[in-house]
Structure 1
């Protein structure tokens, strides 16, 4: 048995009861070492298998190999396991290897939803997720998605917005979206959603400070109706009020 668990942004309060129950039921916990630290309360005397970045395939294969022995395994992802998490990879490996291992995907609070709650209500209408990481997706494809999403006036949630190795990706993304996004469009920035050092900033498209952003940051760009009131970012759904 393999549980693929979304543990939420990082704090216990934003973990679902199903996620907690699945971790408690598992005999082995498998995950990225940074995420293992976030669930130390649930690890206790369980067997732990952890590794670093870019070892996702190895990590999931380890979980599958352990599950073959009959043990219950929990593979953890931050946020939701099915949104840039490990659910897809686990299922790909199991189906390609034609294995008969039951898999239970346990949903979690993804970063965009956690950040939206901190900001107010920025994703009340149609929105999309776009990752700026070009490790898995060619930058040309990311550019096309940014352009089309901005042209369609989606609220846009940017994952993996800026890292040391990709320091210009966010600025380039704003340049692409700028053809369709007005300079007064609200932008919400939340760092370390749900964690002790969480930070929140609200600005406009033209006053965006890219230096505030790193890989633990969620950036949400509003649509033409989004507005700022006091310290809140609000996208109307269209109700008559």
Structure 2
């Protein structure tokens, strides 16, 4: 289409192309059997206008055929109205893991993505921690706790409108964060409506806990969330039993909250069935923040009341020991030489 390419280049207009299958999927008021026989789909102008305008678009001008001078051919046009603001550039949704809280624990890639984003979307507390990095021209959209779906929808809608958006999770966005839900919603969009999508990893709480404690993760480990808001407790208990039987080092996320106070005690009971009562267990609270606190206790004496929603509980395996203020899990099995 040299004429269309030249016109778009001359006027600096965006130019979109659609396959015959994409055009055939649109319901139009003026399908043409002649056009279908010629190009393989019953509509081009109306179907292309609706496709370009996105889901929920409405035709404002049905197809009009304009003819030039004899021998110059004709052009068919149609106009559709998009249901939301539209930008010529493709938006970008950045999934950012903000790490445990301290700005010096934010990865360079995450800092770059934050700097390039015009809009920041996230839970208010997480945005507050990053506030020193936000410029005056960057808009923040504060979300509420437990409203993850709504935050993803808001961020994705902004990106669909051509905005570069940072959707922010604490820790690592691909681990109990927003990346999975955002990707599911992104995949549900038609391909022409999908903004660019990038995930920028962050330091998770279990990694920061390990750094503070010494070297507790030198052997196989697993992470388990004790929150049964999205996962049935029966399934969580199965995973705890398997981790206990497999002698994994275990990092417990979401261990206890005001409304969930018994699950941590049950998890400790299950783990004690397969490892010594004196197994080191650490309560790691507000890691890398101003009120950071670490406690290490024998597993059988873990003070459950000291644990809250800002805590991670890290429990060693049967070989983990605590010496000279350091928690270490030998890399080899009992009796094997460390290497």
TM-score by length of 1: 0.97
2:155 equivalent to 1:63: yes
SS in 2 for 1:202: strand
2:310 equivalent to 1:216: yes
Report the counterpart of residue 128 of structure 2 in structure 1: 37
Higher RCO (Cα < 8 Å, 6 or more apart) = 1
Structure 1 residue runs without a partner (length 5+): none
Deviation at 1:100, TM superposition (A): 2.1
Partners of 1:178 and 1:97 in 2: how far apart? 47
2:196 equivalent to 1:102: yes
Moved over 4 A (4+): none
* Structure ID, larger Rg: 2
Partners of 1:97 and 1:140 in 2: how far apart? 34
Q: How does 1:173-184 map to 2 (within 5 A)?
A: 173-184=267-278
Partners of 1:37 and 1:81 in 2: how far apart? 17
Taking only aligned residues, the RMSD between alpha carbons, in angstroms, comes to 1.0
Partners of 1:74 and 1:36 in 2: how far apart? 11
Deviation string 1:194-218 (CA, Å, 9 cap, x unpaired) is: 1010001111111111111111111
1:25 to 116, 126, 129: 116
Is contact 1:6-1:108 (8 Å) kept?
yes
Partners of 1:47 and 1:12 in 2: how far apart? 19
Deviation string 1:149-200 (CA, Å, 9 cap, x unpaired) is: 0100000000000001001111111112221121011111110011010001
Partners of 2:236 and 2:206 in 1: how far apart? 18
1:53 to 145, 150, 155: 145
Deviation at 1:18, TM superposition (A): 0.8
Report the counterpart of residue 144 of structure 1 in structure 2: 238
Partners of 1:44 and 1:32 in 2: how far apart? 18
SS in 1 for 2:155: helix
Report the counterpart of residue 80 of structure 1 in structure 2: 172
Structure 2 residue runs without a partner (length 5+): 1-91
Which region of structure 1 is more displaced relative to structure 2, 144-153 or 96-105?
96-105
SS in 1 for 2:290: coil
